Amino acid sequence: MSGEMVAVDYYIPLIMFLIIGAVVPIGALAAVKIISPQKSTFQKRSTYEGGLRPIREAIIQYNVQYYLFAIVFVIFDVEVLFLYPWIYVYASEVIPTLGGVNIAVIDMLIFIVVLLIGLLYAIKKEALRWV
- Residue 128 pLDDT > 90, yes or no? no
Cα end-to-end span (Å), the chain: 62
Cα 49 versus chain centre, distance:
32
- At 66-118, the pLDDT tens digits run 888 888 888 888 888 888 777 777 766 666 666 767 777 788 888 889 888 98
**Does residue 98 fall inside a structural domain?**
yes
CATH number of residue 106's parent domain: 1.20.58
**Does residue 26 fall inside a structural domain?**
yes
- Residue 58 pLDDT > 70, yes or no? no
* pLDDT attached to residue 16: 92
What is the domain range of residue 79?
Answer: 2-124
**Does residue 131 fall inside a structural domain?**
no
Amino acid at site 39: K
Nearest CA-CA partner of 104 in 10, 5, 4, 9: 10
**Does residue 130 fall inside a structural domain?**
no
Question: How many distinct structural domains can be found in the chain?
Answer: 1
Cα–Cα dist 57/93, whole Å: 59
**Does residue 93 fall inside a structural domain?**
yes
**Does residue 73 fall inside a structural domain?**
yes
The radius of gyration computed from the CA coordinates of the chain, to the nearest angstrom, equals 24
**Does residue 129 fall inside a structural domain?**
no
**Does residue 51 fall inside a structural domain?**
yes
